[in-house]
Structure 1
């Protein structure tokens, strides 16, 4: 009898262990996957760097086949095609407001910064492939310390950016994209609120170069990648001290992404940098409120990939307005 009870207890323990293991596997797998998906972006990033290194090493062998004097021309087309394909497959990425992007004139694009600015990568690729214009982008200084970023910055015209250097690029007829919120907005923005504080640098650039400003925001960007909200105060303190992103990022959800390009804000010599910052902020906020579902929903962002569902949602938004 005792042997039977020991055997029965052993079977029950084995069953519980197996059942618990399966339960943990089913529960933890989605959590693990959501933190692993951002690695796809890192892998694609370093694949880009690897491609450019190969291109750089073999430049002498292929330069005679290129009509352009810029050694990066073919590389940009190739890399742009990779990112454009990724955007189309994974996020069904689109741009609305193409007519607001100038074909030849200089302009300053001011955009909302997501947890990962994946939309900017897609946007740069589409503009270059469709309009044959290279959009210069301003990135945070810490990115230039990462191995592999230097060659990407060299090819794709990514700069740390000072007021004077940005103004000079605009005076030369280029397009520049800047996110005033930067890493701070990427880490701590909730519900698509702008977090610019007292950052007037971009306004000073526009006034110095006498160019128009174009607001830009990408629908469902915060549903593609999110930052962990638990421990927000700790991450805020760490950011205030080190100016680095410490809040973990999770996601990679294949939600529908649409970059909305707002109407240009023309140069006005009567506006101060503070007034211009507010005017641009109000315009960008209005653009967000017009197109973004609040609060954001990953499920609804996925449903937006279905044309009928997305059309119905925007008809509802238009009716409410």
Structure 2
């Protein structure tokens, strides 16, 4: 057999082998696609349908908001989408929303999850139920993310100095602060340890503005998004030196989320800022102790979506 004939025979054999291999591969994969992927698309379609109907259900409120103010309408539209997503994906609930005043200022102090979607949900709930905007204090790195400027402005997010926070509250607004901030978000753990590092700035703000403090905690927020334990150990020192929030994050699990808003804590001229901060921290820790099973478990949090396991 000549070299040309041998080469042609080899190529023909390889082509035949490739076709047979591809056919076999498809034969193996098709049942997997049919079993898992197609039902997934159906489930996604059902969720999108539910989301669309939820928005349509609130069309009257949205129309009134757009007629009043364009940005107000846009915010309430986005808020409706966020609320629908929270209800569908997390079975989300809020307890104690009556502790947030319908009028007048108040300071909301909350535990910071890896990604604080729970606070976004609370902001949405307050906007839709009480028609009030919650101003937020955000970390400075947020304002350096390209394309976020308009979002920060419309959603009333600011870096937040003591003087600027006092001004927000004295103007009769609601304000949300997480004393633990990015450090707590990235380096707390499944035991829901507060990492406030003796911060008292929020207490000084409440005392000087003379406003109530509302403690807040969301059950299973650390099971919705997580940071790996090995990364927390390796990157903590780097963060403390640079303040760069570099950390792998995984999750967006459809776990049960339930936000609890505690009784208002009123500042007193008889206590120092340190004493008030300690009292608020103890209140948040009490909410955690009464509502959160520790250490947190993703599986348990998923099962809590089923009434039998509540």
Q: Does 1:207 align with 2:224?
A: no
Distance 2:284 2:66 in 1: 40
Structure 2, unmatched stretches of 5+, are 1-20, 33-64
Aligned partners of 2:66 and 2:181: how far apart in 1? 37
Match of 2:244 in 1: 244
State how far apart, in whole Å, the 2-side matches of 1:232 and 1:79 are.
33
4+ residue segments displaced more than 6 Å = none
How far residue 242 of structure 1 moved from its aligned partner, in angstroms, is 1.4
Whether the 8 Å CA contact 2:231–2:248 is kept in 1: the answer is: no
SS, match of residue 229 in structure 2: coil
TM-score under structure 2 normalisation?
0.77
Please, which runs of 5 or more residues in structure 1 have no aligned partner? 1-14, 27-64, 311-321
Cα deviation, 1:115-170, whole Å, max 9, x if unaligned, reads 11011111111110111010001000000100121111111111111111111111
Partner Cα separation in structure 1 for residue 203 and residue 74 of structure 2: 33
Deviation at 1:67, TM superposition (A): 4.0
Q: Which residue of 2 aligns with 1:36?
A: none
**Offset at residue 66 of structure 1 (A):** 4.5
For 2:232 and 2:298, the matched residues in 1 are separated by: 21
Match of 2:185 in 1: 186
Match of 2:172 in 1: 173
Q: CA deviation at 1:108?
A: 0.2
User: Offset of 1:305 from its aligned partner?
Assistant: 1.1
What residue number does 1:198 align with? 198
Check if 1:256 corresponds to 2:256: yes
Is the 8 Å Cα contact of residues 303 and 309 (structure 2) preserved in structure 1?
yes
Question: 1:154 aligns to what?
Answer: 153
CA contact (8 A) 1:96 1:259 kept: yes
Aligned length: 253
Instruction: State the secondary structure of the residue aligned to 1:72.
Output: helix
The separation in 1 between residues aligned to 2:66 and 2:236, in whole angstroms, is: 49
* Secondary structure, counterpart of 1:177 in structure 2: strand
For 1:234 and 1:255, locate their aligned partners in 2 and report how far apart those are by CA, in whole Å: 28
Contact 1:183-1:244 at 8 Å conserved across structures = no
Contact 1:115–1:222, Cα closer than 8 Å, also in 2? yes
Q: Quick one: distance in 2 between partners of 1:225 and 1:131?
A: 28
Separation (CA, whole Å) in 2 of partners of 1:123 and 1:219: 13
Paired residue for 1:99?
98
Matched, 1:294 2:294: yes
Q: Which residue in the other structure is 1:52 paired with?
A: none
- 8 Å CA contact 2:235, 2:247 repeated in 1: yes
Question: Match of 1:108?
Answer: 107
- The alignment partner of 1:265 has SS state of coil
1: CA distance, partners of 2:261 / 2:139:
23
Q: Partners in 1 of 2:142 and 2:166 — Cα distance?
A: 22
Q: For the aligned residues, what is the CA RMSD?
A: 2.3
Question: 2: distance between equivalents of 1:238 and 1:143?
Answer: 19
Q: More deviation in 158-167 or 70-79?
A: 70-79
Displacement of 1:231 in angstroms is 3.7
Q: Distance in 1 between matches of 2:179 and 2:95?
A: 22
Cα separation, 2, equivalents of 1:86 and 1:152 = 19
